[in-house]
Chains A and B, each alone.
Chain A
Amino acid sequence: MNFDLRVAVGWMFLLIGLLLGFFGFASKDNPALWLHSLGIDVDLWWGLVLAAFGLTMLALGKQAQKQAETALTAPVKGKGRRVR
């Protein structure tokens, strides 16, 4: 079993963030869309924040997964230092 929750969380926020970000960027010159949000293109900005968060989680999760895998396939040799 090699499933890190951070990878799933990361993918989800990355995808949602990119969707929002692209939409926000593509329609940043359409003020009618942003009437609700006080004229701010929040989709773009919040999309970028979420994508960045997703990417961070993804990176952390992948790193942890890799470490778990190497620990499984190649057990610590001799007194080699454990990477945390």
Chain B
Amino acid sequence: MLTLTALDWLILLLSFAFVLGIAWKLKSRIKTGQDFLGAGRSLPAWICGLAFAGASTGALEVVGMGAAGARFGLAAAHFYWLGAIPAMLFLGVFMMPVYYGSKARSVAEFLGLRFDGKTRLLHAVLYLAVMIASAGISLFLMARVLQGLHLFDVPFRIAGLSPQGFLPVLVVFLAAVVLAYVLLGGLVASMYNQVLQFLLLVAGFAPMVFLGLRSVGGWSGLQDDVPASALHAWQGNGSPMGIEMVGLGLGLGFVLAAASFCMDQRVVQTALAAKDVESARKTPMIAAIPRLLLPFLLVLPGLIAIALPTPHTTTQERIEGGSIFRTTAVVQPEAEAGLGLVPAKVDPATGRPMLKASGQAVLDYDMATPNLLLRFLPTGLLGLGLAALLASFMGGMAACVTAFNIVFTRDIYEAFLRKDAGDAHSLKVGRWAAVGCVLLSIGTALAAVQFNSILDALELVFAVVMAPLVATVLLGMFWKRATGHGAFAGLLAGTVAALLHHGLTLPMDAHPGLHGGWITVVHSYPSDLAQNVWTALFAFSASFLVTVAVSLATTARPEAELRGLVYQLTPRKANKVWWKRPEALAVAILLVVIALNFYFA
């Protein structure tokens, strides 16, 4: 069995020391609530851009995209080339001048400025729930992956803990590290660390992909080992990932992409910390550049994992000096029942691999990337790979905690509970909000340890809350006529529509309940992903239609009040040198993304 050597531990500790050290150095910078909750609009574009990238590559993404690569092949690149980059460019070109110019410190505050207090409060409250769910899932996922790697079995056994005792301890430890550096250095520390963590992710995963690809015989070798359609993003199957073209283009490429990259406080706050509007606009674009190549770092490992031979228990005989030696390499039954390096899921009750009704094993795709790390990285690099995995997790989790902080303090506490809260008071509230967020997410993660099915419900929360918001923000930003009553009604209607849609539909092979169909099943989708995408589409459409209808029936605010809050009424300054403008960068990235889509079609 693989264990970590002193060198691995040293590298792991070094990376943790730098993460905490950066926060310690920044501690003296945090004197006011504004320092803690915002970065004081002082950071250069490259830091904000890489922090944006780090905030959006949490554990869910790193583990989940490897899983998607193993399940769907290169079609999972749609999450980047279709479902991320265009939205990020749109944010930089069209939305950021308004966000930044409005002086709002959060997306919820922008809603308050553009619409009214009730819309702000409704979104803020729902958003806090998303953050708890999201932080809880990533905590749980990370702890489960670490447990699945069996790398910490030895130190835990020395500490007298049974393997079952791992998960809670790991969950609490991981959460405590993130909380420590957020408390010390606030948003700046979180963003600086996201930069560091993103670079660590690249440094740790690149050698794994290189070695993995080499061992299957390069790209052409990979073509021989996986189904032909798995290496194409568009071709091969009429409905990639079980989603037909309308759902893919509008649901994933537009609604979910905009929800994740244009309206999510976790990423928008990194751009709002930039020193000027031009840096803020460049932030998502700078983040888009490494994201163009992330499929090769995050999706490809999943493909390589299923291309490799499935391990089996083997016995080798050799004769040395007349005596026969038999060496048996024992493989865990769950690995033997798996596909390539993707193991089967283990039934916690029996300890045996779980089987579908058809007799096939239920695969644990989440282990694809982590197992590839274990398979190819030698001692030393394994420590770095593990540090990369943990870094990605911490970056994503810190994004949740800081976003929770800001929204709770600015948009709920200061705006509604204590309107006279002074700055010192806000600083205290912000710190306690961070503690509260971490405690609640630990609770969520531990609940998920107890009841695994909670996980599916948590993943739903994002689509239910964020998809309606896409219509609200877009209409608010680009349509002068949209009113506060309209936005509030739309947001509410969209959320209800999302829940209704979920209650009425079910993905194939699922039982009514947490997966949907809890009212009655009127339609079934080929995959859970397809269902999720259509939930988002329904939520968006309902929100859009209701907002428009109610807005037209109510009186609009005078144009003078909307100056700086609507795109058409926001003054814009353009850099004289055309190629230095953010637009030029956006067009260049767009051309590359189109080329990538065609090349890997």
Task: Point out residues on A near B: beta carbons under 8 Å.
Answer: 1, 3, 5, 8-9, 11-13, 15-16, 19-20, 23-24, 33-38, 40, 42-43, 46-47, 50, 53
Interface string of B306-337 (1 = CB under 8 A from A): 00000000000000000000000000000000
Q: Which residues of B contact A11 (CB under 8 A)?
A: 18
CB distance from B287 to the nearest CB of A (A): 16
With CB as the reference atom, state the residue of chain A lying closest to B192. A5
Given contacts A5-B47, A42-B211, contact A36 B376 (CB under 8 A): yes
CB distance from B212 to the nearest CB of A (A): 10
Verify B214–A8 contact, CB threshold 8 A: no
Verify A42–B378 contact, CB threshold 8 A: yes
Given contacts A36-B376, A37-B376, A42-B211, contact A12 B195 (CB under 8 A): no
Interface string of B17-38 (1 = CB under 8 A from A): 0100110011011000000000
Binds A, one of B8-16, B156-164, B405-413: B8-16
Verify A12–B11 contact, CB threshold 8 A: no
Q: B199 in the interface, Cβ–Cβ < 8 Å?
A: yes
Given contacts A3-B25, A5-B192, contact A37 B18 (CB under 8 A): no
- Give complex CA distance A56, B128 in Å: 40
Verify A20–B15 contact, CB threshold 8 A: no
With CB as the reference atom, state the residue of chain A lying closest to B6. A23
Within 8 A of A (CB), among B361-390: 375-381, 384
With CB as the reference atom, state the residue of chain B lying closest to A64. B44
Classify the interface of chain B: helix, strand, loop or mixed. helix
Verify A15–B14 contact, CB threshold 8 A: yes
CB-contact partner of A37 in B15, B47, B381, under 8 A = B381
CB-contact partner of A42 in B29, B207, B215, under 8 A = B207
Known: A13-B203, A38-B211, A42-B211; 4 extra A-B contacts, CB below 8 A, are A5-B22, A5-B192, A8-B25, A16-B384
Verify A36–B15 contact, CB threshold 8 A: no
Please indicate which of the listed interface residues A1, A8, A33 has the most CB atoms of chain B within 10 Å of its own CB.
A8
Q: Which residues of A contact B203 (CB under 8 A)?
A: 13, 16, 46, 50, 53
- Give complex CA distance A38, B377 in Å: 10
Verify A24–B376 contact, CB threshold 8 A: no
Task: Give the bracket for the number of chain B residues in contact with chain A.
Answer: 20 to 34
Verify B199–A9 contact, CB threshold 8 A: yes
Q: Which residues of A contact B26 (CB under 8 A)?
A: 3
With CB as the reference atom, state the residue of chain A lying closest to B51. A5
Within 8 A of A (CB), among B499-541: none
- Give complex CA distance A38, B211 in Å: 7
- Give complex CA distance A24, B11 in Å: 14
CB-contact partner of A16 in B15, B22, B378, under 8 A = B15
CB distance from A43 to the nearest CB of B (A): 4
- Give complex CA distance A12, B10 in Å: 12
Verify B381–A20 contact, CB threshold 8 A: yes
Given contacts A15-B14, A23-B7, A38-B211, contact A43 B380 (CB under 8 A): yes
Q: Which residues of B contact A37 (CB under 8 A)?
A: 207, 211, 376-378, 381
Q: B196 in the interface, Cβ–Cβ < 8 Å?
A: yes
Q: Which residues of B contact A33 (CB under 8 A)?
A: 378-379
Q: Which residues of A contact B7 (CB under 8 A)?
A: 19-20, 23
Q: Which residues of A contact B376 (CB under 8 A)?
A: 36-38
Verify B22–A8 contact, CB threshold 8 A: yes
With CB as the reference atom, state the residue of chain B lying closest to A34. B378
CB-contact partner of B10 in A3, A5, A19, A34, under 8 A = A19
- Give complex CA distance A47, B214 in Å: 19
Q: Which residues of A contact B206 (CB under 8 A)?
A: 46
Verify B18–A43 contact, CB threshold 8 A: no
Verify A36–B384 contact, CB threshold 8 A: no
With CB as the reference atom, state the residue of chain B lying closest to A43. B380
Sampled A-B contacts (28; CB under 8 Å): A5-B47, A5-B192, A5-B196, A8-B22, A8-B196, A9-B195, A9-B199, A12-B14, A12-B15, A12-B196, A16-B11, A16-B203, A19-B7, A19-B11, A19-B380, A20-B7, A23-B379, A36-B378, A37-B376, A38-B214, A38-B376, A40-B211, A42-B378, A43-B379, A43-B380, A43-B381, A46-B381, A50-B203
- Give complex CA distance A9, B192 in Å: 10
With CB as the reference atom, state the residue of chain B lying closest to A40. B211
Q: Which residues of A contact B381 (CB under 8 A)?
A: 20, 37, 42-43, 46
Please indicate which of the listed interface residues A5, A16, A35, A38 has the most CB atoms of chain B within 10 Å of its own CB.
A5
- Give complex CA distance A24, B28 in Å: 39
CB-contact partner of B18 in A12, A36, A46, under 8 A = A12
CB distance from A44 to the nearest CB of B (A): 9
Q: Which residues of A contact B18 (CB under 8 A)?
A: 8, 11-12
Q: Which residues of A contact B10 (CB under 8 A)?
A: 19
Q: Which residues of B contact A24 (CB under 8 A)?
A: 380
CB distance from B434 to the nearest CB of A (A): 22
Verify B377–A36 contact, CB threshold 8 A: yes
- Give complex CA distance A72, B47 in Å: 22
Q: Which residues of A contact B384 (CB under 8 A)?
A: 16, 20
Q: Which residues of B contact A5 (CB under 8 A)?
A: 22, 47, 192, 195-196
Please indicate which of the listed interface residues B21, B29, B207 has the most CB atoms of chain A within 10 Å of its own CB.
B207
Interface string of B98-138 (1 = CB under 8 A from A): 00000000000000000000000000000000000000000
CB distance from A16 to the nearest CB of B (A): 6
- Give complex CA distance A37, B378 in Å: 6
Verify B211–A8 contact, CB threshold 8 A: no
- Give complex CA distance A1, B256 in Å: 40
Interface string of B195-209 (1 = CB under 8 A from A): 110010001001100
Complex A-B, nearest 3 residue pairs according to Cβ-Cβ distance, in ascending order: A43-B380, A12-B18, A36-B378
CB distance from A58 to the nearest CB of B (A): 13
CB distance from A55 to the nearest CB of B (A): 14
